């Protein structure tokens, strides 16, 4: 079994971004990402902090806009409109989840597609499905990069994705399909889930439940990608997969932390850069 090292590969991606940032800076452009955080969800605060730190490492400018949990939807929309109008901001993202009173769809629709660093705008989701997108959703695209950089072949493989969220499950399936895999999307209503996942050469779990993926669900020699960010009974960060039991059965597996998480952030850097390059028609 080999570990799919997201920390190592994300550092490589970040270095490549930093090189391309230099090219833009020579042309007078300093690519910048604006991150909006609404409320005081502690996990979101950590994610946003890591995104800002990653910008620094990749040579990107960043701005944070932190709004209180009782901000109105109109206040968030006003912040987005302001960032959308600014020439010196190339990418915008609004950290999810939002407080319940705020309509997520209205917020994601308000970020202009040409500044949509997450690829969550319906126009960009459509382009992704057509295979014509300039940016791709960070977590699924980061997983594809990790698999490719680590030499995992995707074409022709049986892939199973557990979870059908708009952020991970659905776009993950779409990107694997674009890599010519045969893809099955599994979810809470899937009948005999272990029978389905045992067919998978590549198994991606994006469920958000600790210890969800057990050894009986995994094919011998499978590549297992764990998108989960959960806490175990001791409050320790863990994924969806029972790592110690499953790992010996795999050919490759992502750890949590140090697997998918850093790749998500590295892809956000790539997306921000790509949006800045697009404006210069590079
Ligand atoms: N919340 C969990 N994942 C993400 C992500 O990729 N982008 C944003 N904006 N919020 C998230």
Residue 96 CA to ligand 1 center (angstroms) comes to 5
pTM for the full predicted model: 0.98
Residue nearest to atom 11 of ligand 1 (CA): 96
| Cα dihedral across residues 148, 167, 51, 47: positive or negative | negative
Least Cα distance to 46 among 231, 205, 189 occurs for 231
Residue 281 has pLDDT above 90, yes or no: no
Q: Among 64, 93, 163, which residue has the most ligand 1 atoms within 8 Å of its CB, making it the best to mutate?
A: 93
Span 73-90, pLDDT tens digits: 999 999 999 999 999 999
Beta carbons within 8 Å of 63's beta carbon, 6+ residues apart: 32, 33, 34, 35, 83, 89
CB 201 within 8 A of CB 184: no
Residue 69, token pair as written in the block: 């949990």
pLDDT of residue 126: 98
Q: Where are the alpha helices (DSSP H) in the chain?
A: 6-26, 42-58, 73-85, 104-110, 122-130, 138-149, 169-178, 193-197, 243-246, 260-279
CA dihedral 106, 110, 114, 120 (to 10 degrees): -20
* pLDDT recorded at residue 280: 85
Quote the pLDDT of residue 43: 94
**pLDDT single digits (tens) 46-80:** 999 999 999 999 999 999 999 999 999 999 999 99
Inform me whether the pLDDT recorded for 144 exceeds 90. yes
Q: Is the pLDDT of residue 247 over 90?
A: yes
Ligand 1 center–CA 95 separation, angstroms: 5
- Ligand 1 pocket: which of 43, 47, 119, 272 to mutate (most atoms within 8 A of CB): 47
- Whether 25 sits among the annotated catalytic residues: the reply is no
């Amino acid at each position: 079994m080999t570990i799919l090292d997201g920390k190592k590969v994300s550092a490589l991606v970040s270095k490549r971004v930093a090189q391309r940032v230099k090219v833009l800076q020579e042309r007078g452009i300093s690519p910048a990402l604006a991150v909006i955080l609404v409320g005081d969800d502690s996990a979101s605060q950590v994610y946003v902090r890591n995104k800002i730190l990653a910008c620094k490492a990749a040579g990107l400018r960043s701005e944070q806009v932190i709004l209180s949990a009782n901000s109105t939807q109109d206040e968030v929309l006003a912040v987005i409109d302001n960032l959308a109008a600014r020439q010196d901001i190339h990418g915008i993202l609004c950290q999810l989840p939002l407080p319940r009173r705020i309509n997520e769809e209205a917020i994601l629709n308000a970020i202009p597609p040409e500044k949509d660093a997450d690829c969550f705008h319906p126009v960009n989701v459509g382009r992704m499905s057509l295979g014509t997108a300039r940016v791709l959703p960070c977590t699924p695209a980061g997983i594809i990069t990790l698999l490719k950089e680590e030499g995992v072949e995707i074409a022709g493989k049986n892939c199973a994705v557990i979870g059908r969220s708009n952020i991970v499950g659905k776009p993950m399936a779409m990107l694997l399909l674009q890599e010519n895999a045969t893809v099955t999307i599994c979810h809470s209503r899937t009948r005999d889930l272990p029978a389905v996942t045992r067919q998978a050469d590549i198994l991606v779990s994006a469920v958000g439940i600790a210890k969800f993926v057990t050894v009986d669900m995994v094919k011998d020699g499978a590549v297992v990608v764990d998108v989960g960010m959960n806490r175990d009974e001791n409050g320790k960060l863990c994924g969806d997969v029972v790592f110690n039991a499953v790992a010996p059965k795999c050919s490759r597996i992502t750890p949590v932390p140090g697997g998918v998480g850093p790749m998500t952030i590295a892809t956000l850097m790539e997306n921000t850069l790509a949006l800045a390059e697009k404006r210069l028609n590079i």
